[in-house]
């Protein structure tokens, strides 16, 4: 690994338009007043950094559930998966990962499997760290069927300043653990619903790395 790669990360294509807008505004700010222009430079660099898309090394041992997002574990509780996914209405353990505007926002598959459902639902824009965000905020839900037939749900939830959920996959797609499936712009949250009887291995406040940090381990069914 080169030292440069430690600091300069590739940018996801979704960010190009936004970085171009920030850069154009920065040019105008320099024409108005130099100090404003330098503020624009800082914001442009931040925008590039926000849309960074670093490579991740996913654990290869079978049966692991990894974090779908960078951020902090904000909630661990029992909850029913979103009704629009058509899963069983029994409560499952839900692990919520809150992403601040400084986290990488590319979302990755928590497990390998087939996408059996993708369901978008419009909603409000409460702070994504709040419990009610899972129920009331704009969201995009995915159901993933693993090879053993069990299902995992992962839900992209818009936050206070997030106004765009992006999902790259459709029902029928088969993805490996750690593969990219979407992103959310500017602050948000990911919920993972674990299969029945599976307990999380993480704690509240723990820092998560998408595609790398292990959330839980599945026992053989």
DSSP letter for each residue of 36-94: HHHHHHHHHHHHHHHTB--------STTEEE-SSSEEEEEEEEEPPPGGG----S-EEE
Rounded to an integer, the average pLDDT of 33-43 is 94
Percent of the chain clearing pLDDT 90 (strictly above): 67
The confidence band for 147, taking pLDDT boundaries of 50, 70 and 90, is very high
- Alpha-carbon gap, residue 8 to 20, rounded angstroms: 18
Average confidence score pLDDT of the chain: 89
- How many residues does this entry show for the chain? 221
> How many C-beta neighbours within 10 Å does residue 180 have?
18
pLDDT tens-place string over residues 67-89: 999 999 999 999 999 999 999 89
The answer to whether residue 100 is catalytic is no
Q: Which H helix or E strand runs over 183?
A: strand 180-184
The confidence band for 2, taking pLDDT boundaries of 50, 70 and 90, is low
- Alpha-carbon gap, residue 145 to 85, rounded angstroms: 12
pLDDT tens-place string over residues 86-143: 998 999 999 999 998 889 889 999 999 999 999 999 877 666 666 666 777 889 999 9
The confidence band for 184, taking pLDDT boundaries of 50, 70 and 90, is confident
pLDDT at 65 over 90: yes
Instruction: Give the strand order in the sheet containing 106-108.
Output: 106-108, 180-184, 165-167
Rounded to an integer, the average pLDDT of 55-62 is 93
The confidence band for 52, taking pLDDT boundaries of 50, 70 and 90, is confident
**Range with the lowest mean pLDDT among 44-53, 75-84, 106-115, 151-160?**
44-53
Write down the catalytic residue from 67, 129, 141, 188: 188
Please give the pLDDT value at position 188.
Answer: 83
- DSSP class per residue in 92-161: EEEEEEEE-TTS--EEE-SS-EEEEEEEEE--B---TTSTTHHHHB-EEEEEEE-TTS-EEEEEEEE-SS
């Amino acid at each position: 690994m080169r030292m440069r790669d430690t600091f300069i990360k590739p940018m996801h294509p979704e960010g190009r338009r936004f970085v171009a807008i920030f850069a154009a505004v920065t040019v105008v700010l320099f024409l108005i007043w130099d100090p404003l222009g330098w503020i624009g430079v800082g914001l442009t660099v931040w925008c590039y950094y926000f849309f960074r898309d670093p490579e991740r090394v996913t654990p290869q041992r079978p049966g692991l559930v990894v974090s779908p997002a960078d951020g902090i574990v904000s909630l661990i509780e029992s909850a029913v998966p979103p009704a629009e996914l058509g899963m069983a209405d029994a409560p499952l353990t839900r692990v919520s990962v809150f992403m601040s505007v400084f986290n990488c926002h590319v979302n990755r598959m928590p497990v390998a499997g087939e996408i059996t459902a993708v369901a978008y639902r419009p909603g409000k824009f409460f702070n994504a760290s709040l419990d009610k965000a899972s129920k009331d905020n704009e969201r995009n839900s995915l159901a993933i069927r693993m090879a053993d037939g069990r299902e995992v749900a992962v839900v992209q939830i818009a936050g206070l300043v997030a106004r765009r959920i992006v999902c790259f996959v459709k029902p029928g797609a088969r993805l490996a653990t750690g593969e990219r499936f979407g992103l959310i712009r500017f602050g948000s949250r990911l919920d993972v619903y674990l299969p029945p009887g599976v307990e999380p291995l993480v704690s509240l406040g723990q820092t998560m790395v998408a595609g790398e940090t292990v959330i839980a381990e599945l026992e053989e069914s």
